[in-house]
Chains A and B, each alone.
Chain A
Amino acid sequence: MAWALARGVTLFALAAACSGCQSRESPGHSASMRTTVGLQAFGDPAELAAYKELIAQFEQRTPDVRVEFIPVGNQRDHMTKLTTAFAGGDPPDLFLINFRRFGQFAGKQVLDALGPRLAERGHLKESDLFEQPAEAFRYNGMLMCIPMNASSLVVYYNRTLFEQGRVPLPKPDWKWEDFLAAAQALTKDNDGDGKIDTYGLGFEPTLIRVAPFIWQAGGDIVDDLHHPTRFTLDSSAAREALDFIRSWYVRYKVVPPLAESKSETHDARFARGGLGMILQSRRYTATLRTIHNLEWDVAPLPSQQQTATVLHSDAYCLAKSSPRKDAAYRFIEFAMSTEGSTLIAKTGRTVPSVTAVAESPAFLDPAAPPRSARVFLDSILHMRRTPNIAAWNEIESRVDPMIEDWFYREGRAEPLGREVQQAVGSLLGTRKE
């Protein structure tokens, strides 16, 4: 009996363990004919479905290459899987990554520079892409990855709440004071119970969200974008912007308190009509398109001394250790073609980095909200970015909780700039590339 059990378990174990060892070839194609390329990406089910469609179209046109899609649920898991795979020497051939996180891979020289391939093959040109996202994926002057989107931070606003409160709709050239006045006018206790029912603004206090306001005030977050050695959050311009941001909660109470923002996300609150405005990237559009009783639109970030927003961009990167670089690059070429970019653009979640597709109805679909979709394209001109050094991901992970504490804690004395410099300033100096 014991041996029978042991035999059964062993056979089952072997069968199941080898269920992952299935043939990497599809029917009709011999092993010598097809090359299998691994592509790792994260996204929600609709995005992943678009990638699968992209892969299906590519495989139809390129029968000698098969793409093994490795979907991951969210960005954090994606990074965990990627860093472990690289450390273990078994990375995917291709993967998508944000420019704020690609520096740690570029810095370790585990990426195959795609700029030379771009120039060599000639099917896709760098001039086909928006300049700002392409620049963000340069490392030591070399284009390392090919950006597939060029999103930015914009203001999503509830049109109904603006009209009900007789608040002037945001204009393309609106200023900080207009923005704050709108947030104040939209913050309301509708039933008179002493509790705020509708807040004017949803704001996630993180470095990436704070940065554009510092740029608008004429300041910067670091002393040198390409070779940062220290944070400059203590400059007078940066302090002006930081004081303005902090006043939204500490002084004017136009954003939900910390407890409320943790119990109900800003995204959910805006979606149910509990926020007048929210700062978000293009990704949020897809969610809002599913709500039929919400009148919403987008506006650029307000400006002050300057007009500025922050880049949100992901790119296709190729692992240097991949033995299938040519096949992998052919997939990138297809994904970045008009046809491939259009497929992804139709999800509504991204702003295509291919200029021709961004200007086409695939993105500027007049039948699909937001009616001011061009705001995303106009914002590209004013896009700035954070450094893409190897340590930047770690810096953001450590600074964001400090910014949250600084934003919400009333009576706080220590300036944010000094705290950030003390906590993570050494990462700039020691890890400069």
Chain B
Amino acid sequence: MRFVRPPHGRREARVGAGGAGATLLLILVAVLFALPLVLMVLASLRQPGLAPPRGVELIPDAPSLRSYSDAFTLVPLGRGILNSAIVSAIAVPVTIVTASCAGLAMTLMTGWRRQLMIRALLVLAMVPVTAVWIPRFVLFGALNLVGTYAPLVAPALMGGSPLFVLLYVMAFRRIPPELFEAARMEGIGPLRIWWSVALPLVRPTSAAIALLALGLFWSNFIDPLLYLKSEAHLTAPLMLRHLELLGPTNWPVFLAGGVVVTLPVVLAFLVAHRFLWSEEKGTGWPGR
């Protein structure tokens, strides 16, 4: 069968129409996801201490930033954000290191070993958090680490999440295996292969996992709740919980806290998203 190429102009017009449709769809999805954030910002501008409005009030009568100052004075929110930043600043790079090492090791495995490890990862991903809740607490208690940030950071030592390791496996498998073989024949050790050969080729994946890990560690609520034992060490999500208990007249304060705690993650995404698509077509994440 002979393939008939459509006239050049018509093809471009079709692509243009399709592209515009896709862009419109993306804009709609973006608006849908951004809407709660926008509403949160607008509602946080309402004066605290007023009776709550009936329904959704898009623009408050007398917009004010008092809720933001109240959020920082009612609870040590600044301290909570700093503590969350410390935890994330440790856990995210450690996650990248451990998840990528594990992902590369699994990629370089062959045959049943790789299959076994991938299946083990999938099984691990399905273990409910609550099933290991008490054993973990007992373990960290025995290590005298309850009340420290160590239990919060510890998952990073194991790749953060089985999903992150799997993402790295997928990314490394797109690299031609001959490249790793050639590096080995040149006498390059595994650590150097990981750092100098593998990691630079999967930067978009690393950026995506860094963002996912940041979301995971930044918004982690249950571990700080269970393990931290002093107000000075509490993280931002726990501070938000205190604000949540304020009465309906102070909900703008709670929402202001929500905006402040959400902002760093949104900013991180805005900074990092260009890395997600920075590679040449075919190697970017998730592998276009």
Contacts and interface: CB of A to CB of B under 8 A. Distances in A.
Interface string B92-119: 0110010000000000000000000000
B91 to A, nearest CB: 9
Nearest to A197: B54
Contacts of B19: none
Interface of A: 1-2, 5-6, 9, 12-13, 16-21, 38, 42-46, 48, 68-74, 77, 80-81, 84-85, 87-90, 92, 264-265, 267-268, 271-274, 284, 286-288, 290-294
A70 B229 contact: yes
B138 A88 contact: yes
Contact of B245 (A74, A80, A85, A273): A74
Given A13-B94, A291-B51, A73 B245 contact: yes
Interface string B207-245: 000000000000000100110111101100010111111
A72 B242 CA distance: 7
Contacts of A84: 133-134, 137, 226
A189 to B, nearest CB: 14
Interface stretch (B22-30, B145-153, B278-286): B145-153
A70 B86 contact: no
Given A19-B233, A88-B138, A290 B191 contact: no
Contacts of A271: 51-52, 247-249
A370 to B, nearest CB: 15
12 contacts: A2-B191, A20-B148, A44-B242, A73-B238, A88-B141, A90-B141, A268-B248, A271-B249, A288-B247, A290-B49, A291-B50, A291-B51
B73 to A, nearest CB: 9
A44 B87 CA distance: 25
Nearest to B154: A17
Contact of A9 (B97, B145, B225, B244): B97
A264 B234 CA distance: 30
B226 A290 contact: no
Contact of A88 (B134, B191, B245, B251): B134
Interface string B186-214: 00000110110000000000000000000
Given A81-B225, A87-B137, A90-B146, A44 B245 contact: yes
A155 B218 CA distance: 42
Contacts of A77: 225, 241
Given A19-B148, A271-B51, A290 B249 contact: yes
B74 interface: yes
Contacts, number: 145
B-side interface mostly: helix
Interface residues of B, number: 53
A5 B93 CA distance: 9
B153 A268 contact: no
Interface string B125-152: 0000000011001100100011111100
B250 interface: yes
A25 B192 CA distance: 46
A20 B228 contact: yes
B89 interface: yes
Contacts of B90: 9, 12-13, 16
A89 B12 CA distance: 69
A364 to B, nearest CB: 22
A191 B236 CA distance: 44
A74 B74 contact: no
A116 B19 CA distance: 79
Contacts of A286: 247
B170 interface: no
Given A68-B230, A84-B133, A17 B247 contact: no
B241 A294 contact: no
Nearest to B150: A17
A294 B52 CA distance: 12
Given A69-B230, A274-B54, 6 more contacts: A19-B233, A85-B226, A90-B146, A267-B247, A287-B250, A291-B50
Nearest to A263: B55
A90 B231 CA distance: 17
B265 interface: no
Nearest to A52: B231
B231 A69 contact: yes
Contacts of B222: 80
B75 interface: yes
B47 to A, nearest CB: 11
Interface string B237-273: 0101111111111110000000000000000000000
Contacts of A46: 74
B245 to A, nearest CB: 4
A138 B208 CA distance: 56
A20 B230 contact: yes
Contacts of B16: none
Interface in B59-104: 74-75, 86-87, 89-90, 93-94, 97
Contacts of B194: 2
B21 interface: no
The 7 closest A-B pairs by CB, nearest first: A73-B241, A287-B247, A20-B148, A268-B248, A88-B137, A45-B74, A272-B51
A261 to B, nearest CB: 13
Contact of A89 (B138, B231, B240): B138
Contact of A12 (B54, B89, B150): B89
A222 B277 CA distance: 64
A87 B139 CA distance: 12
A73 B242 contact: yes
Nearest to A48: B242
A267 B149 contact: no
B195 A2 contact: yes
A92 B53 CA distance: 41
Contacts of B249: 271, 287, 290-291
Contacts of A288: 247
Contacts of A267: 247-248
